Copies of this chain bind each other. A is one copy, B any other.
Amino acid sequence: MSGSKDFHSADPVTWCPGCGNFGIQAALQSALTELGRDPRDILLVSGIGQAAKMPHYVRANFFNGLHGRALPAAAAAKIANRGLTVIVTTGDGDCYGEGGNHFLHNIRRNLDMTVIVYDNQIYGLTKGQASPTSAPGLKTRIQPAGVILEPFRPLAVALALDCGFVARGYAADKEHLAGLILAGMRHKGFALIDTLQPCVSFNKVNTYAWYSKRIYKLGPEHDPADRAAAMIKAEEWGDRIPTGIIYEKVRPSYEDLSGLEDIPPLVDAPVGGIDIAPAFEDFR
């Protein structure tokens, strides 16, 4: 089994029937199949939340860490072994709420990893509190009069930080999403794919029906190299919601700049036999 290129996991899925996550799971599996690497060369990293359970359901190496802390763990794993294809599967709360600071600084760090944010605009696993991306007015038990904070704008913030790959996917369009994930994996650097994901249990606003009226795919008229156009598309929300690659630009990656690429993967460096004596001499 291990060693086969099958990304099917035997672990029973615990999502609600109809959850948008099933679509993302399928898209991720098909993108991985398309990529063609062995599951042993793939590392899925997540925090905690419904989205963050994904690594259990797609067969590969995985690190299911703390709520909000997927990105630092993923970044370090990539530094340790630059040969791994690192994919982060995280939620809007995980990545933009608890993990917001790591979101900012890992865009700056620009390690080669693909970050899929399952953006259901809600805290699913904890039973329906507002998330950073919840629409103003959304009523929850904690916000009985409706959310009053402006929504977080992940795509615009990523663009503001000149993230090299900024995309939006939709969980119900698996094929398109699979294409985005594949493109993200092929992009050398931090690739953000904010993926709109209906939560059938708690988000009664942003439903499949709501999305299907609004979602459209960016066509060839959109030039992902055009940052100003990208900013407009990143902010388009309401009656029309674009999906696709909003912005792409090749920036030197951390691996390039840190010199990691000039040496064998750190994981292959010997641990024993290090000659520390010369360093001691500097302390004479």
Contacts and interface: CB of A to CB of B under 8 A. Distances in A.
A200 interface: no
B156 A132 contact: no
A97 B105 CA distance: 8
Interface string A156-187: 11011110000000000000000000000000
Interface size class of chain A, counting residues whose CB lies under 8 Å from the partner chain: 20 to 34
A153 interface: yes
A108 interface: yes
A231 interface: yes
A237 to B, nearest CB: 12
A271 interface: no
Given A156-B161, A157-B161, A251 B105 contact: no
A218 interface: no
B157 A132 contact: no
Contact of A104 (B148, B157, B251, B257): B157
A258 B160 contact: no
Given A160-B156, A231-B231, A251 B150 contact: yes
A211 interface: no
A266 interface: no
Contact of A148 (B98, B100, B257): B257
B101 A148 contact: no
Given A156-B161, A157-B160, A157-B161, A149 B100 contact: no
A171 to B, nearest CB: 24
B109 A152 contact: no
A254 interface: yes
Contact of A101 (B100, B108, B161): B100
A152 B148 contact: no
Nearest to A148: B257
